[in-house]
């Protein structure tokens, strides 16, 4: 059985499993791997693992050499030239598109141009002009604003490098309901990333908040506490406490297990037993 590692490809950003070919590799190593149409450059993002052989498993060809690095740097230089030329031609042709990035494939067989556009763009003449000018196959790829952030990178409001540019493989759907369930501010400037979309990290702990939130009563519930009767006005999901406003106007924070549900005309029962918000005691 082969040793398998995960490699993030520089060109597409995808993370794919490869056969190490018995090379000694560590996380962070740069390698040249087999691609769909030639060699590709990538970075090892996992430790080697022994797995059953897969027929479609591609192979690591070698650790990046000085010659490989020189070729990559030359590709980067040429890509910047293509980017500038493409920007000028987009302006000359008045095309409704925003050019994001230009990238040469490692084997120099093609140049890929990434752009953002609100509508469908006819870029056939642009591709012909660039292919004629640089003597290479040109591909245009329309992406979204989240993909733009993934390609260009940056730092989030947490101060760390963007998740999408470091470890996220795919973009998961993120909704404003997730922010509500975690009782976060709904101010767009506070729950949006640099891409202008909702923060990807809202999805990380959402399920935990949902499960813990089921153990708490709803706001507005009438309860009885040791300090007297009152109404729940706020919840702290992580601490599993509620804020109760007493009849005198005083507010107190109380663990949910110490609450009693107030229902006039019925025998009082402990809130935790009635609604199973906490685990029942053995026996």
Tens digits of per-residue pLDDT, 22-47? Answer: 888 888 889 999 877 678 888 898 88
pLDDT (tens digit, 9 = 90+) per residue, 123-164?
999 999 999 999 889 999 999 999 999 888 899 988 999 998
Q: Of 53 and 200, which is predicted with more confidence?
A: 200
The reply to whether 228 falls in a domain is yes
The pTM assigned to this predicted structure is 0.71
The reply to whether 238 falls in a domain is yes
Could you say which of 47, 64, 81 is where a domain stops?
64
List the domain range (segments joined by +) for residue 164.
148-209
Q: For the residues 247-256, what does the mean pLDDT come to?
A: 87
Could you say which of 143, 159, 175 is where a domain stops?
143
The reply to whether 216 falls in a domain is no
The reply to whether 39 falls in a domain is yes
Q: Kindly state the tokens that stand for 269.
A: 């029962």
Give the CATH number for residue 93. Answer: 3.30.300
**How many domains does the structure of the chain reveal?**
4
The reply to whether 184 falls in a domain is yes
Q: Which residue has the tokens 């890929």?
A: 112
232-247 burial code (b ≥16 CB/10 A, e <16):
beebebeebbbbbeee
CA dihedral 93, 94, 96, 99 (to 10 degrees): 70
At residue 279, the pLDDT reads 44
The reply to whether 214 falls in a domain is no
The reply to whether 153 falls in a domain is yes
- Flag the least confident range among 72-81, 161-170, 196-205: 161-170
Three-state secondary structure call for residue 6: strand
């Amino acid at each position: 059985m082969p040793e398998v590692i995960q490699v993030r490809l520089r060109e597409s950003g995808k993370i794919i499993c490869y056969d190490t070919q018995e090379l000694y590799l560590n996380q962070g190593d740069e390698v040249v791997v087999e691609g769909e149409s030639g060699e590709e450059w990538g970075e090892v993002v996992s430790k080697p693992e022994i797995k059953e052989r897969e027929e479609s498993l591609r192979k690591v060809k070698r650790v990046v050499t000085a010659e490989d690095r020189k070729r990559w740097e030359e590709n980067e230089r040429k890509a910047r030239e293509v980017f500038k030329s493409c920007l000028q031609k987009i302006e000359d042709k008045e095309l409704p598109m925003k050019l994001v990035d230009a990238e040469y494939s490692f084997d120099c067989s093609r140049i890929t141009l990434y752009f953002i556009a609100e509508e469908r763009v006819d870029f056939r003449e642009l591709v012909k002009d660039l292919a004629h000018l640089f003597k290479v196959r040109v591909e245009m790829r329309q992406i979204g604003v989240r993909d733009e952030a993934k390609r260009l990178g940056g730092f989030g409001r947490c101060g760390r490098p963007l998740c999408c540019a470091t470890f996220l493989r795919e973009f998961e759907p993120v909704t404003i309901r997730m922010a509500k369930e975690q009782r976060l501010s709904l101010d767009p400037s506070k729950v949006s990333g640099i891409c202008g979309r909702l923060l990807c990290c809202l999805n990380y702990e959402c399920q935990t908040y949902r499960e813990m939130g089921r153990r708490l009563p709803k706001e507005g519930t009438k309860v009885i506490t040791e300090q007297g009767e009152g109404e729940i006005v706020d919840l702290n999901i992580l601490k599993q406490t509620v804020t109760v406003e007493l009849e005198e106007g005083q507010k107190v924070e109380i663990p949910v297990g110490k609450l009693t549900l107030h229902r006039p005309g019925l025998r009082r029962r402990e809130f935790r037993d009635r609604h199973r918000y906490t685990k029942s005691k053995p026996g």
